[in-house]
Amino acid sequence: MTAWESSLSGHRPPKFRIGPLDRYAVFAAVVVVSVLLFWAATALSEWFWLPAAVFIALALTGLRDVVQTEHAVLRNYPIMGHFRFLFEKIRPEIRQYLIESDQDEEPFSREDRSIVYQRAKNQEGARPFGTKKAVYQGGYSWMTHSITPTHLDRHDFRVRIGGPDCAKPYDASLYNISAMSFGSLSGNAIKALNIGAKKGGFAHDTGEGGISSYHRQGGDLIWEIGSGYFGCRDAEGNFDPEKFRAQATDDQVKMVEIKLSQGAKPGHGGMLPAAKITEEIAEARGVEMGKDCVSPAGHSEFSNPTELCEFIGRLRDLSGGKPVGFKLCIGHRREFMCIVKAMIKTGIYPDFIVVDGTEGGTGAAPLEFANHVGMPLNEGLSFVHNTLLGAGVRERIRIGASGKLIHAYDIGRAFALGADWCNSARGFMFAVGCIQAQACHTNECPTGVTTQDPIRQRALVVPEKGERVYNFHRNTMRALAEIAGAAGLDDPRDFLPYHFMKRENDGAMVEASDVWTYLPTGFLLTEGDDHMAYRQRWKRASAETFRPPDPVGRKTTRGEMEQAAQ
């Protein structure tokens, strides 16, 4: 009976099955061969010792697999079960090099990585034979160009950061290195980044891990202050104003950034185990050797919007009048409006706000935080821009944007949504040699970028990688000037939402201005029934607290239920 006839009659051919003992066949065969080789080595010739040693080692491995209790697959499939873990380990590399297309984003596509590598090496980036994008599929986006393009001779575009209360404003490049700490990155990587920043005249954000000796290559620094107050803390981990003053008044430090949250894991703290703290990390962070280094989820120096603004004012005074601002990934939109109301109430305004999208990824994070916590950059950036417009304070505050911004096209779109400048972390990681192995948290980075292993760090040759950082920035800024000229603009910051289009899943074209609308200046300060998503949250926001007011029909919390029961 054929298989087709069997299917018609309701019968199925017997499936291949592994017998109850067949799964131990390889282990048994290895044991038998080990015994034979051992006998041959002792009785016939010493040349059998080498293969005997190999098979005896395999036999001992199989024996260990059978008796261990951690991995069920190894207990059932001794020796052979190790292939499962081998394939699991090399799966990212196999996928990256053999399976994924140029367009697959895992998290950066091959096309994205290649453009960084090419620009870092000063190689030609022109693409022959047209785009590989599916231009009629939903999600495709493009920029509208002008019949009368402009030619921009310069590409060193800058924006002045510093409001009326800032004594030492900073003229920042439109594209800078985003926050990455020493400890997360190797010393050689930090050194190469700062060398490139110095040569290119752009800024290097230190990350919350403090200012290390590797940052001292002469490049402009944005000093990030996180909840651990690394580099400006006392023995108990509290903020130390004098230690802050000593660092912040250094000429190399151009701006100070308070980290409220980051896109990779907003609302989540962190801990560097004592075993991973080297003397250099301890010195940069101001922590003790032999103790876990904890970054709390929240700050201890302020607990409400007004205190945050007062802290901003203190830091600006202690720094000698340098620009001070904060970075956040938007979560509860009302809470950001609380901060804006506190600015107006206290008269203390940040000089800048950096909006980090949930796409950000230089911090290793739990899966739930990486995938489902925080607002993506486009929505967060547009919201911050419109809220500042609505409150009538947009002109006092500069906005930075960060989150997968490595193309000139992505940077231009961020400007269209309200950014004054952009930052990139992983783009510059690619420039210093990152190959997206996604082993950043293992201390086994194959290119020496995200490891503290001194031998692995040797792979990263600092002078060469510093030059590549400079090249990547310079060539990206040139590309930005070219697409701005194609749109008929004189400056990349003149991009507006109507310059960008997107195709919906139904095939329709949508102008970005239909989605990312600029709202009227000062509209939140007047009564009205327009833009209610903003007005309702503004009405519920308070300068005194981040906690929400009690809305009608609010769900009773567990704590309130327990109090009522008592």
pLDDT tens across 176-192, in order? Answer: 999 999 988 999 999 99
For residue 118, the surrounding DSSP H or E stretch is helix 110-120
Which span out of 11-20, 83-92, 94-103, 351-360 was modeled with the highest average pLDDT? Answer: 351-360
Check: CB of residue 389 under 8 Å from CB of residue 426: no
Span 427-443, average pLDDT: 88
Query: Is residue 469 pLDDT above 50, yes or no?
Result: yes
Q: Cα(497)–Cα(474) distance, rounded to whole angstroms? A: 25
Query: DSSP state, 517?
Result: P
Q: What digits encode the pLDDT tens for the residues 106-136?
A: 688 888 888 999 999 998 777 777 788 888 8
Residue 143, both tokens: 């920029």
pLDDT of residue 323: 98
Three-state DSSP at 141 gives strand
Check: CB of residue 291 under 8 Å from CB of residue 276: no
CA–CA–CA angle 190, 192, 198 (5° rounding): 100
One-letter amino acid for residue 295 of the chain? S
Buried-exposed string 199-212: b where 16+ CB fall within 10 A, e elsewhere: bbbbbbbbbbbbbb
Which one has a higher pLDDT value, 305 or 440? Answer: 305
Span 221-246, average pLDDT: 94
Query: DSSP state, 369?
Result: H
Domain segments of the chain as ranges: 167-483+511-515
Model confidence at 103, pLDDT cuts 50, 70, 90, reads low
Model confidence at 8, pLDDT cuts 50, 70, 90, reads very low
Query: DSSP state, 330?
Result: -
Model confidence at 361, pLDDT cuts 50, 70, 90, reads low
Span 142-170, average pLDDT: 95
What is the CA 440 to chain-centroid distance, rounded?
A: 12
Least confident of 250-254, 272-276, 287-291, 470-474: 272-276
Which one has a higher pLDDT value, 374 or 246? Answer: 246
DSSP bridge pairs for 142 = 501
pLDDT of residue 230: 94
- Asked if the bond preceding 107 is cis, omega within 30° of 0, the reply is yes
Indicate the pairing of strand 324-328 with strand 175-177.
unpaired
Residue 508, both tokens: 């329709």
Query: Is residue 414 pLDDT above 80, yes or no?
Result: yes
pLDDT of residue 212: 95
Model confidence at 419, pLDDT cuts 50, 70, 90, reads very high
Least confident of 219-223, 355-359, 491-495: 355-359
Check: CB of residue 183 under 8 Å from CB of residue 209: yes
Least confident of 94-103, 266-275, 323-332, 439-448: 94-103
Query: Is residue 467 pLDDT above 60, yes or no?
Result: yes
Which one has a higher pLDDT value, 132 or 347? Answer: 347
Burial category of 450 from C-beta neighbours within 10 Å (exposed 0-12, middle 13-18, buried 19 and up) = buried
Query: Is residue 515 pLDDT above 70, yes or no?
Result: yes
- Least Cα distance to 339 among 400, 391, 299, 287 occurs for 391
Check: CB of residue 493 under 8 Å from CB of residue 415: yes
Residue 217, both tokens: 């290559």
| Topology given in CATH for the domain delimited by 167-483+511-515 | TIM Barrel (3.20.20)
Q: Cα(420)–Cα(488) distance, rounded to whole angstroms? A: 19
Least confident of 59-73, 295-309, 354-368: 354-368
Any residues with CB less than 8 A from the CB of 144 and at least 6 apart, and which? 487, 498, 499, 500, 501
Query: Is residue 557 pLDDT above 90, yes or no?
Result: no
- Return phi, psi of residue 486, to 5°: -60, -30
Model confidence at 17, pLDDT cuts 50, 70, 90, reads low
**Mean of all residue pLDDT scores within the chain:** 88
Provide the whole-model pTM. 0.83
Look-up: residue for tokens 């140029």? 102
Check: CB of residue 356 under 8 Å from CB of residue 329: yes
